[in-house]
Amino acid sequence: SIVLQTVSQGSLDASKDMQKELATIEKKKEELADYLCEDRKKLSLEDVFSTMKTFRELFLKALQ
């Protein structure tokens, strides 16, 4: 049916878009790892964000 074809094409397009976004994120993560002199394979975005959060908290505390 035409509806099913439209829905599955939409799903395929969304999947391709998601793959492109994930590839972009992975590339940016590798660039960030290089910038921070970290191992590309071991760098976790969760760790980076946690470190940034801690730095921000300590920086704001130091300003007070």
One DSSP character per residue, 16-32 reads HHHHHHHHHHHHHHHHH
- Looking at residue 4, what is its pLDDT? 78
Neighbours of 32 (CB within 10 A): 14
Neighbours of 45 (CB within 10 A): 13
CA nearest to 26, candidates 45, 13, 10, 7? 45
- Looking at residue 8, what is its pLDDT? 83
For 10-58, the pLDDT digits (tens) are: 888 999 999 999 999 999 999 999 998 989 888 888 888 898 899 999 9
Largest CA distance in the chain: 65
Give the pLDDT band (50/70/90) at residue 59: very high
Residue 1 clears pLDDT 80, i.e. is over it: no
